[in-house]
Structure 1
Amino acid sequence: QKPTSELMAAIQLGIGQSVGGLSSKPERDMLMQDFGVVEVVFFPGEGSNLTPAHHYSDFRFKTYAPVAFRYFRHLFGIQPDDFMLSLCDEHLKELSNPGASGSIFYLTYDDEFIIKTVQHKEADFLQKLLPGYFLNISQNKRTLLPKFYGLYCYQQCGGKNIRFTVMNNLLPSTVKLHEKYDMKGSTYKRKASKHERAKKYPTYKDLDFMENHPEGLSMEKDTYDALIKTLQRDTRVLESFKIMDYSLLMGIYNLDLANKEKVREQVICPLNSCCAKHFIDIGMGDSYSGLQRGKSFKTRIGQYSTPMESIQGNRELTEELDEDEDVPPGGIPARNAKGERLLIYLGIIDILQSFRLKKRLEHTVKSMVIDGDTISVHRPSYYAQRFLQFHATRVFKKAQPGSTALKHSPSKKKSQVKTRSAAAPDGSDISGSNQAGRAERGARTISFSDEPPSGTSGAVGGRPDLLPEHSHVRYSSPRIRTPSPRLGAGNLNGNSRQQKRYVKNPNR
């Protein structure tokens, strides 16, 4: 077993050299062979002309498809220096493994990225998946699929290969998530074990959710439609890649319950400001008050990095929170059956599992003794259909007309300010116009109805560059452009024009 501290340090050295070295290479169009490139760099303890000196064992560091992953990072708005700063500037935090895969998880100090070790076959599958992944995210960045930012391999001389990938962090670790679920849409053995339930922060499963939330979670119509449309699109992509056995990881932050906990803690310990902060017990240590990036956790590095952005692609659509409800942005607003306000953080995980011979045999054996439709291992087409049906009908519900509004209520302080400003100097009430303006801004939600809005020629939500599902589309070949980094030797050619990444309307 490699000491985790040495492994973390070697990972940071390798990523820093890889990303920094790539910065000196000029920008160019991506070629098909770029997806299969593997760069290998030797890190001797005394250092070399390419690598710094270190006091660890000599090792080799492999970077898979560096040009392709540079494009992926650029597509999601991640600058090279921000990527290096997050991964290499501070110590990584090791997380406890929530599953049975045996993988090691690391979290960056700023809560942006997750590093996960993967098996050899999973790394190979991801590399083979890259051309299709490239095509998918080039057409559509609003996705709940994992966002892969890099694939690497650490090898100590004469030792074993340790492969790992860098991904987006789905669940914020700086707040206390009141519930966490891993759901596949299956019911066979999909209940958390006694050992899991005994944990401080357990991960529940499908049957647990149906027991805890028999009526599901309610959302406003536009939010529900956007979420289900995104899940439908993502499951179709996974089905086309013959991928199955994936899950929806969902964390629930209960705003009303958190406020009650905060008041209770202030009564018990009014002088201790630390009582107002919650941290998931994953070895996080102290808070992130010393971030060198000079930003609070209210902003994220990458675009489309939060669930609300992933389903709608618009930061302005996130709900307004109370001033003292200091939580990470981008959670999807919902309510439970009690009417409590919720923020949902979610994403699809474990997509590196194809329907190979082993899974086919597993499905055949299990279906002989139990109901084949209830087990988790299934052919990709049926798995995608069941996964989508479960979440669209059992987990998430569309709020009924006339029900309590799901928007988060503003704070009392904000309400007082708005009340005072509602009266004009001449005594007239101008609050109605303000409300109309807010309604107009809030109406910019993408429509996913089958019938296109009037005057858009089949465009979605009034945007001529986005098409509904049934429309005929043509795809433009995307070009790669990575902005000039502030770290690393050399500069990239920044003269080429940035390409729009949306699917173009042929009728426009």
Structure 2
Amino acid sequence: MAAPSPGPREVLACSPEAGRRAAASRSGRHSLLWRLRDKQCRLGLFEIGPGHELHGLTCMMQAGLWAATQATIDHPPTGPSSQEDFSEVLTQVHEGFELGTLAGPAFARLRRSLGLAEEDYQAALGPGGPYLQFLGTSKSSASFFLSHDQRFFLKTQLRREMRALLAHLPRYVQHLQRYPHSLLARLLGMHSLRVAQGRKKYFIIMQSVFYPTGRIAERYDIKGCEVNRWVEPAPKGSSLVLVLKDLNFEGRTINLGPQRSWLLRQMELDTTFLRELNMLDYSLLLAFQGLHQDENGPGSSLIFCVTRSVQGTYSPEEPEAQNRRLLPDVPNALHVLDGPEQRYFLGFVDLATAYGLRKRLEHLWKTLRYPGRTFSTVSPAHYARRLCQWVEAHTE
């Protein structure tokens, strides 16, 4: 499926200087205790400050995103959603670079549906504080960043990946509308960045699955296979934040109690959707966080209350009913599940790899290279089924 034909607009960007002043003013109002707690939560992450090789790039991203969000604040999309929402390209010209915003109205509507205020989004991604970097365990050449408050995740993408995401964006939005508690990561923006006359770089913004970060003890990237799925753990006492993989998870169990049947049903819904889009190589992110005593047990306000969805029942008259849940009043509740003793963060990421000729050839090569072993490059149907089986085998 080809990406929709973009409708380009080019404007001069407003200066983010006002944003810097506003951010500085907000920072000045933070207490010393808040700043110390924020610093503690950043252990294992690295500020991209002056002297960092990516500092120039991230400064341009921050200035560009501040101006792009300001354009939405000044001119929010109105009226019913349309095909043009998914095809618009807004290019803002800055000093030394230009930033493109792809499908801006569609993403503005999506952010609004998530209850995310544009001003908060702008403050987190703008020049109010440096982006953060962690030592990724991915073998791709992509760069990964977190906003300074760790709410939003930014990742560079290849052009073909961006085209795939744009092509499927209307169906992605439709899926989230039908299943508002889907495990799919929430894409919040897609952008291009061109420095001087150089080639365009592309990047996406999404809600971080691992948020809020306090007390998260372990993080995993699960694909349901074994080849290249081991990460050497950080030394004991190290503050490095590593995302481990399938083989590191051996011997572990996700204890969900009554939430298990809901999760298995939602896994089936989401992987079926990705299979229909001919997608593979996506990951299930998983993190553990121990519950405090006041978060555990009957009557706790943070334990999920499940209405009609816990058994995965299906109503033909109301197809979204099987995953309608009463969510706790905590940040990022869409990706949080409470078990009897642990809180789990769960979400699908890397939703842009299609099973085309390149991947079919890679599948043939890996079949010869790794006989009798499981690897990531398999057909979308096989990939979806295997990942669901992994979750079923590792939950109780």
TM-score, normalized by length of structure 2?
0.72
The CA deviation at 1:123 is 1.4
Shift in Å, 1:104: 2.2
> Which amino acid in 2 is paired with 1:234?
D
Decide whether aligned partners of structure 1 residues 157 and 242 sit closer, same or farther in structure 2, where only a CA change above 3 A counts: same
Per the alignment, residue 34 of structure 1 pairs with: 85
User: Match of 2:379?
Assistant: 379
Counterparts in 2 of 1:27 and 1:248: CA distance versus 1, 3 Å: same
Are residues 178 and 66 of structure 1, via their aligned partners in 2, closer, same or farther at CA, if it must alter by over 3 Å?
Answer: same
Q: Which amino acid aligns with 1:241?
A: L
Q: CA deviation at 1:347?
A: 0.9
Residues in 2 aligned to 1:175 and 1:316: alpha-carbon distance in whole angstroms? 17
Q: Which residue of 1 aligns with 2:326?
A: 314
The 5-angstrom pairing of residues 111-150 of structure 1 reads 111-150=150-189
Q: For each residue in 1:346-372, what CA deviation from the matched residue of structure 2 results, as whole angstroms up to 9, or x when unmatched? A: 211111111111111111122235446
**Structure 1: how far apart are the matches of 2:130 and 2:154?**
9
Q: Please say if residues 115 and 166 of structure 1, whose CA atoms lie closer than 8 Å, have aligned partners that are also in contact.
A: yes
**Residues 61-460 of structure 1 aligned to structure 2 (within 5 Å):** 61-88=99-126, 90-98=128-136, 99-172=138-211, 174-193=213-232, 200-211=240-251, 213=252, 216-221=253-258, 223-255=259-291, 313-316=325-328, 331-334=336-339, 341-371=341-371, 374-393=374-393, 395-397=394-396
Larger % of strand: which? 2
1:135 deviates by 1.7
- Aligned pair in 2 of structure 1 residues 60, 189: CA closer, same or farther (>3 Å)? closer
Deviation at 1:377, TM superposition (A): 0.9
| C-alpha displacement of 1:64 | 0.3
Q: Compare relative contact order (CA 8 Å, sep 6+) and give the higher one, 1 or 2.
A: 1
Change (3 A) 1:104 1:311: farther
RMSD of aligned Cα (Å): 3.0
Instruction: Give distance in 1, aligned partners of 2:152 and 2:85.
Output: 24
- The answer as to whether partners of 1:116 and 1:165 remain within 8 angstroms in 2 is yes
Unaligned runs of 5+ in 1: 45-57, 258-297, 299-309, 319-326, 336-340, 398-508
Asked if structure 2 preserves the Cα contact closer than 8 Å seen for 1:170 and 1:345, the reply is: yes
Measured in 2, the distance between the counterparts of 1:247 and 1:26 equals: 32
Question: Residue 404 of structure 1 aligns with which residue?
Answer: none
When the two structures are aligned, how many residues end up with a matched partner?
Answer: 316
What is the match of residue 9 of structure 1?
A: 59
Q: Alpha carbons of 1:86 and 1:7: their partners in 2 closer, same or farther (altered >3 Å)?
A: same
Q: Is the 8 A contact 2:215 2:290 kept in 1?
A: no
Map of 2:22 onto structure 1: none
CA displacement at 1:199 relative to structure 2? 8.1
Separation in structure 2 between the aligned mates of residue 77 and residue 256 of structure 1, nearest angstrom: 27
TM value normalised by structure 1: 0.57
Distance 1:199 1:372 in 2: 37
Match of 2:68 in 1: 18
Identity of aligned residues (%): 23
Deviations 1:164-203 (Å, cap 9, x if unpaired)?
1110011136424222211111123322247899984433
Structure 1 CA distance for aligned equivalents of residues 180 and 338 of structure 2: 21
Q: What CA deviation, in whole Å up to 9, does each residue of 1:21-43 have, x standing for no partner?
A: 23325513222233222111211
Q: Structure 1 residues 191, 106: closer, same or farther in 2, change over 3 A?
A: closer
Structure number with bigger Rg = 1
CA pair 199-89 structure 1, distance change in 2 beyond 3 A: closer
